[in-house]
Structure 1
Amino acid sequence: MQNYHDTEWGVPVRDSRALWEKLILDGFQAGLSWRTILLKREAFREAFDGFVPDRIAEYGEADIERLLGNAGIVRSRMKIRATIQNARAYVSMHKNGEDFSAFVWKAVTDQSLIGDGTGLATRSAVGDHLSKELKKRGFSFVGPVIVHAWLQATGVINDHEAQCFRRDKHVTV
């Protein structure tokens, strides 16, 4: 967990596919510990074809059953279906000329928002807004709490605590 915090969490992500992968993983994390998801992250990547949305958008019932049989991932039919739906929404955005990263970063005028330094927030105005916008585009399992956590994890919102060495670091990946 320390390594994840020190090298990934809160580091601004600009790559559309990487942003999408983290959104999906944050959805799988709902109701579980982040540690559980981190330990299964490579199994998720393998099971979901490297989180390539174009591939996942083509999944059907046989793929859902295959994933439900994979002990290496979180086996939730609802979350698996949401992943497929979200891949289709992502692909649709792309086909309509809307870049996922630009869509996300536009919500914060292309600059990380700085949190209050307490690390206690579970929702934000930008998270509420993006949750609604994602749903309008066909995404599911993207409620305001999940979206806020995702924005924190991807550095769209810099919510490192005030004394954290990462708070003033703005390295983009």
Structure 2
Amino acid sequence: MSQESGCSWAQSDPIMMTYHDQEWGVPSHDDTYLFEMLNLEGAQAGLSWITILKKREGYRKAFRHFDIDQCAALSDAELDEILSTGEIIRNRLKVKAVRSNAISVQKIQEDFGSFSNYMWQFTDFKPIINHWTSVTQMPAQDALSEKISKDLKKRGFKFVGPVIIYSYLQAIGMIDDHVITCPSHTENKRP
């Protein structure tokens, strides 16, 4: 379904439209998906989101479909192999961040029971539903993304600045930033 009366950023490419319509802003509590999106958002730093979406399958193949335990166990040699052959953004720091982020997620899972429990505690386990009339009203970061970014960094995560984390919170549905005219806005999907 096209979002002709909705979020203008998604209308430039069919891949973006599909991502917008099926994933963006949909609350997720699946640790593997939360881990995947955290790393994809980090990989996007300095790039466009469409670039990452077009390489998403390459990322999934290279990083074992973002299986947290498998990513935590990647050896230096395996990371070097991914860097040289993977259909991904070939940035050494971003590639190594997947392993260190996986190790940090494992520790959070031990401490909180799941990565989802850890993330969603910041919003009392409910999505924040904004009411923007234009995408230009959306902030690049806010107090919540700054708080979560600071805590993630303290726990050893990489590529988790407040702007990246704000995008991440939108992606995993902790923040609904669909414009109010968009059919995907939470309040437009209610019966």
- Please indicate the TM-score interval, normalised by the length of the shorter structure: over 0.9
Aligned pairs for 1:28-43 within 5 A = 28-43=43-58
Question: Which residue is equivalent to 2:106?
Answer: 91
Q: Does the 8 A contact of 2:58 with 2:86 survive in 1?
A: no
Amino acid at match of 1:129: K
Question: Which residue is equivalent to 2:8?
Answer: none
Aligned pairs for 1:85-164 within 5 A = 85-117=100-132, 118-119=134-135, 120-164=138-182
Q: 2 CA distance for matches of 1:111 and 1:142? A: 22
Amino acid at match of 2:160: V
Q: 2 CA distance for matches of 1:20 and 1:49? A: 12
| Structure 1 alignment gaps of length 5 or more | none
Q: Does the 8 A contact of 2:32 with 2:66 survive in 1?
A: yes
Q: Does the 8 A contact of 2:34 with 2:116 survive in 1?
A: yes
3-state SS in 1 of match to 2:70: helix
Deviations 1:132-160 (A, max 9, x none): 11112211110000000000011100011
CA RMSD of the aligned region, Å? 1.6
Displacement of 1:81 in angstroms is 1.2
Q: Does the 8 A contact of 2:36 with 2:66 survive in 1?
A: yes
- Bigger radius of gyration: 2
Q: 1 CA distance for matches of 2:161 and 2:51? A: 20
Q: Does the 8 A contact of 1:11 with 1:170 survive in 2?
A: no
Question: Which residue is equivalent to 2:11?
Answer: none
Paired residues, number:
171
Displacement of 1:116 in angstroms is 4.0
Q: Does the 8 A contact of 2:129 with 2:186 survive in 1?
A: no
More relative contact order, 1 or 2 (CA 8 Å, 6+ apart): 1
Q: Does the 8 A contact of 2:182 with 2:188 survive in 1?
A: no
Amino acid at match of 1:102: N
Q: Does the 8 A contact of 2:131 with 2:177 survive in 1?
A: yes
Question: Which residue is equivalent to 1:64?
Answer: 79
Q: 1 CA distance for matches of 2:70 and 2:84? A: 19
Displacement of 1:71 in angstroms is 4.7
Displacement of 1:70 in angstroms is 2.2
**TM-score of the two chains, using structure 2 as the length reference:** 0.84
Identity score, percent: 40
Deviations 1:100-155 (A, max 9, x none): 10111110111111224133311011111111111122111100000000000111
Question: Which residue is equivalent to 1:4?
Answer: 19
Q: 2 CA distance for matches of 1:113 and 1:123? A: 14
Moved over 3 A (4+): none
Q: Does the 8 A contact of 1:12 with 1:170 survive in 2?
A: no
| Structure 2 alignment gaps of length 5 or more | 1-15
Q: Does the 8 A contact of 1:16 with 1:99 survive in 2?
A: yes
Amino acid at match of 1:88: I
Displacement of 1:97 in angstroms is 4.2
Amino acid at match of 1:159: D
